[in-house]
Structures are given as structure tokens and as C-alpha cells.
């Protein structure tokens, strides 16, 4: 007798989440948003709470050969705060769960927590609990973050509408390029342990990979300027993949312009050095933790002069599809490669 077996890779990460979500029935009126956005949204009376969780595994999400433990701790908090920011909410509390193999000492856990505490201070969040257990395969960190916002301020992935302007913060592709450099230097070191890696030239891109900063600064600025994006998410899997999410959730299309895509000079130069196409790094690199959002045209003037917000394109009708207009003026279909976990 043969039982049906479907490979997880047949569905992919997002297909698997959709598959699980199909059978989930929400039972409580206080659950304003369940699976399917950067964070869940829970009614808390006069305001809403947002909740998100992320799991980081040694060897999958970080490599202690080049990631210092304090950085791993900081990043584990930052990636959760980034999902809270993506809802236009303010992070308030986190819980931290860790699994440790006997390779780790108290000093190592202290180093990890020094980064966690630094991030708590940086983002103004309280560490309020967690869990500790043993692991057979290195270090595992799971963080849950809770944030708050007024109900009318929460931004979902599904609010983009035709003619809205697509915006991204900061610059993109750096974290992917940084990872390639760290991997290359690790291989050089493994081949010849006397070689001291020369990373001086690459500090911006390696920093983007090792110690990303969630864009809470932008969330506070949007509030001060009185702008509520029509949709928003953070860029953890790559710009192209996130544009697909916004378009699918909002049932819209999008056009973006190659010459508007923000890339840092060091990211560009290092990509070229590595024989990578810089624009591919911008479109498909993961882990930049910048924000992708859409605004109504009436808000454009309020953000127009912002030095760190880039207007990369606009929202169109769903049937118009998703296009990148290249520097030479050709419209090419965007493919959502993103970061594949399976
Ligand atoms: P992000 O990249 O913003 O962290 P994900 O792609 O990880 O978002 O998750 C998308 C949505 O799917 C979120 O609402 C998340 O809570 C939900 N999700 C992810 N994995 C699971 C799971 N195993 N069970 C239930 N919900 C999940
Ligand atoms: Mg997210």
C-alpha cells in the first residue's frame, strides 16, 4: 500500500503556510488578523496588539564561524521588531526561547544576551519571558515580539490600491552581498587557517548581514508627518518576493523602475567583484529588513524630501501584471525568486 507523499519543496515555504492556513478557523472576535501578514493583530480595547515570532537556527540562519554571538542576539530581536514595524506598530515586549547544546558555556549565553539586551534598549522593548531547553544541534533562538498601535494606524499587506506610490526605505541587496563575502572568507580561512580575512573593505555589507537594524526610525517619522501607508511589509525575503505578497494580498499589479532602486555603492562594487548582477541582488537578496510600503498620492509631498525613502514605482490594476522597467525603457516581468528555504 502506498501512501501519498508530497515534498515540502513542491509547495515551497509560502505554499506550505497557505496550505496550513486553509484549515485554520478563527474563533475569537478579538483576533482581528490571523495568519498572512507580518504580524497577527489582536483587539485590546482602545488599541490593538500585534504579535510576531521568528525562529533562528545555527547553521541555517547564522553561522558562528563569522557571526559573533552578541550580533546574533541583536539580529534575533531586530528581525522581530522589523515585523512589528511592518504593521506600523511600536514594539513593547519580547519573549526569548533558546535551545543550547553542551558546546555552549555560560559565558557564551551571556554574550548572546548582551546583544539581546542591547537591542531591547535600542528599540525600547522589555524582555518579559521565554524558555530554555537542551538542543542536539547547536543553538536555536525563537523570539516573539508584541507591539501596540491605534487600530486605524495598523497597516496590512492588503491595502494597496491603484495609483498608490511604491516606496522603499534605505538601500537593498547589501545583506546578500555581505553574506557572500563572509562565506568566501570562511572558505579561505578553512583552506588556510593562517590567513587573516581582510574584511575592512566590506564593513557596510557585512554589517548589513550580521547586524541589521529594523526601521523603527521610519515608523516614528511617518507618525510625525501624519502619513499612514496604505500597505506595508518588511523586506526579509527580497524586494521581488515582497512585491508579489503586496500585489497578491491587495489584488493589484505594480510597475517599478530600475533607475529608482536604491543600492549602496559598496553593495554595487562588491556585487560586481563577486560576478553578481547588482540589480538581481536588489530584487532577490534577502534579509535587508528595510520597509516596502505604498502611499496614497496625496501623501507624496509629505515624504518627497525624505532622504531615506525612495519612490520606486506605482500600483496598477491586477490584470496589468508586475513589471520592472529597465534603464533602457524595456518592461520585463518581475519574477519572485526571493529566498528559498526548501
Ligand atoms: P515574515 O517573513 O514577515 O516573518 P512569514 O513569511 O514568516 O512572514 O510568515 C507569513 C505569515 O505566515 C505570518 O502571518 C506568520 O505568522 C504565518 N506563519 C508562518 N509559519 C507558520 C506556521 N508554521 N504556522 C502558522 N502560521 C505560520
Ligand atoms: Mg515580515
User: Other CB atoms closer than 10 Å to residue 226's CB: what's the count?
Assistant: 8
- Do 15 and 141 lie in one domain? The reply is yes
Mutate to test the pocket of ligand 1, among 8, 35, 81, 175 (most ligand atoms within 8 A of CB): 35
- 3 lies in a domain? no
Ligand nearest to the CA of 142: 1
- Do 80 and 144 lie in one domain? The reply is yes
| Closest Cα to atom 5 of ligand 1 | 38
Q: Which of 92, 122, 153 delimits the end of a domain?
A: 153
- 190 or 128: which leads in pLDDT: 128
- 340 lies in a domain? no
Burial 146-180 (b: 16+ CB within 10 A, else e): bbbbeeebbbbbbbbeeebbbbbbbbbbbbbbbbb
Which uninterrupted H or E stretch holds 186? helix 174-191
- Do 269 and 140 lie in one domain? The reply is no
Range of the domain at 103: 9-153
What number is the average pLDDT over the span 266-274? Answer: 98
Q: Give the CA angle between residues 329, 331, 335 to the nearest 5°.
A: 140
Asked whether 53 and 143 are in contact (CB, 8 A), the reply is yes
pLDDT(149) > 80: yes
Distance CA 197, CA 188 (A): 8
Distance CA 289, CA 209 (A): 10
How far does the centroid of ligand 2 lie from the alpha carbon of residue 189, in Å?
34
Residue 336: what pLDDT?
73
Three-state DSSP at 272 gives helix
| Closest Cα to atom 23 of ligand 1 | 17
- pLDDT digit string, tens, across residues 192-249: 888 777 788 999 999 999 999 999 999 999 999 999 999 999 999 999 999 999 999 9
How far does the centroid of ligand 1 lie from the alpha carbon of residue 262, in Å?
27
Percent of the chain residues past pLDDT 90, beyond the cut: 91
Closest atom of ligand 1 to 39 CA is: 14
- Do 184 and 296 lie in one domain? The reply is yes
| Closest Cα to atom 19 of ligand 1 | 17
Asked whether 173 and 208 are in contact (CB, 8 A), the reply is no
Distance CA 61, CA 253 (A): 32
Residue 190: what pLDDT?
87
What pairs with residue 293 in β-bridges? 167, 232
pLDDT(152) > 70: yes
Three-state DSSP at 126 gives strand
**Per-chain mean pLDDT for the chain:** 95
Residue 137: what pLDDT?
86
Q: What is the CATH number of the domain that holds 24?
A: 3.30.1330.10
Residue 233: what pLDDT?
98
Q: Which of 119, 153, 187 delimits the end of a domain?
A: 153
Q: From start to end of the chain, where are the E strands?
A: 31-33, 40-43, 48-57, 90-100, 126-134, 140-149, 165-169, 231-235, 252-257, 290-295, 309-317, 322-325, 331-333
- Do 188 and 209 lie in one domain? The reply is yes
Pocket of ligand 1 (CB under 6 A): 17, 20, 35-38, 54, 83, 236
- 278 lies in a domain? yes
Ligand nearest to the CA of 52: 1
**pLDDT confidence tier of residue 340, bands split at 50, 70 and 90:** low
- pLDDT digit string, tens, across residues 44-94: 999 999 999 999 999 999 999 999 999 999 999 999 999 999 999 999 999
Asked whether 126 and 93 are in contact (CB, 8 A), the reply is yes
Q: Give the CA angle between residues 10, 15, 16 to the nearest 5°.
A: 85
How far does the centroid of ligand 1 lie from the alpha carbon of residue 340, in Å?
14
What pairs with residue 316 in β-bridges? 253
Residue 335: what pLDDT?
85
**pLDDT confidence tier of residue 13, bands split at 50, 70 and 90:** confident
- Do 144 and 211 lie in one domain? The reply is no
How far does the centroid of ligand 2 lie from the alpha carbon of residue 292, in Å?
10
- Do 212 and 253 lie in one domain? The reply is yes
Site of grid cell 530554555: 132
**Domains in the chain: how many in total?**
2
Binding positions are 38, 52-54, 61, 83, 113, 130-131, 157, 234, 236-237, 287, 339
- pLDDT digit string, tens, across residues 97-137: 999 999 999 999 999 999 999 999 999 999 999 999 999 98
Residue 189: what pLDDT?
86
- 43 lies in a domain? yes
Three-state DSSP at 55 gives strand
What pairs with residue 51 in β-bridges? 40, 146
How far does the centroid of ligand 1 lie from the alpha carbon of residue 314, in Å?
26
- 338 lies in a domain? no
pLDDT(1) > 70: no
Ligand nearest to the CA of 339: 1
Binding positions for substrate are 61, 287, 339
- What phi and psi values does residue 218 have, to the nearest 5 degrees? -65, -40
**pLDDT confidence tier of residue 300, bands split at 50, 70 and 90:** very high
Site of grid cell 562594487: 269
Residue 338: what pLDDT?
52
Q: What is the pTM of this model?
A: 0.95
Please choose, from the candidates 72, 55, 123, the residue with its C-alpha nearest in 3D space to the C-alpha of residue 93: 123
Amino acid at each position: 500500500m502506498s501512501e501519498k507523499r508530497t515534498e515540502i519543496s513542491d509547495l515551497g515555504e509560502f505554499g506550505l503556510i497557505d496550505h496550513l492556513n486553509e484549515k485554520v478557523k478563527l474563533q475569537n472576535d478579538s483576533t482581528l488578523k490571523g495568519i498572512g501578514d507580518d504580524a497577527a493583530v489582536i483587539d485590546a480595547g482602545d488599541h490593538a496588539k500585534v504579535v510576531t515570532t521568528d525562529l533562528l537556527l545555527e547553521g541555517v540562519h547564522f553561522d558562528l564561524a563569522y557571526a559573533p554571538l552578541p550580533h546574533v542576539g541583536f539580529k534575533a530581536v531586530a528581525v522581530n521588531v522589523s515585523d512589528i514595524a511592518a504593521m506600523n506598530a511600536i514594539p513593547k515586549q519580547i519573549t526569548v526561547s533558546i535551545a543550547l547544546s553542551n558546546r555552549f558555556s555560560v559565558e557564551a549565553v551571556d554574550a548572546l544576551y548582551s546583544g539581546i539586551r542591547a537591542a531591547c534598549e535600542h528599540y525600547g522593548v522589555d524582555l518579559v519571558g521565554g524558555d530554555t531547553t537542551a538542543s542536539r544541534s547547536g543553538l536555536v533562538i525563537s523570539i516573539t515580539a508584541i507591539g501596540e498601535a491605534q487600530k486605524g494606524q495598523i497597516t496590512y499587506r492588503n491595502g494597496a490600491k491603484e495609483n498608490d506610490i511604491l516606496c522603499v526605505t534605505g538601500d537593498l541587496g547589501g545583506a546578500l552581498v555581505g553574506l557572500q563575502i563572509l562565506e568566501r572568507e570562511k572558505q579561505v580561512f578553512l583552506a588556510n587557517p593562517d590567513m587573516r580575512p581582510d574584511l575592512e573593505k566590506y564593513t557596510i555589507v557585512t554589517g548589513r548581514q550580521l547586524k541589521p537594524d529594523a526601521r523603527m526610525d521610519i515608523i516614528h517619522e511617518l507618525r510625525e508627518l501624519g502619513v499612514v501607508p496604505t500597505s506595508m511589509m518588511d523586506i526579509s525575503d527580497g524586494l521581488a518576493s515582497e512585491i508579489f505578497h503586496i500585489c497578491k494580498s491587495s489584488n493589484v499589479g505594480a510597475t517599478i523602475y530600475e533607475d529608482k532602486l536604491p543600492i549602496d555603492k559598496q553593495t554595487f562594487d562588491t556585487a560586481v567583484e563577486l560576478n553578481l548582477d547588482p540589480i538581481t541582488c536588489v530584487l532577490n537578496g534577502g534579509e535587508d529588513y528595510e520597509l516596502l510600503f505604498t502611499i496614497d498620492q496625496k501623501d507624496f509631498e509629505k515624504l518627497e524630501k525624505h532622504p531615506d525613502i525612495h519612490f520606486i514605482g506605482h500600483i496598477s490594476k491586477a490584470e496589468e501584471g508586475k513589471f520592472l522597467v529597465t534603464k533602457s525603457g524595456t518592461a520585463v516581468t518581475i519574477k519572485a525568486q526571493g529566498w528559498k528555504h526548501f
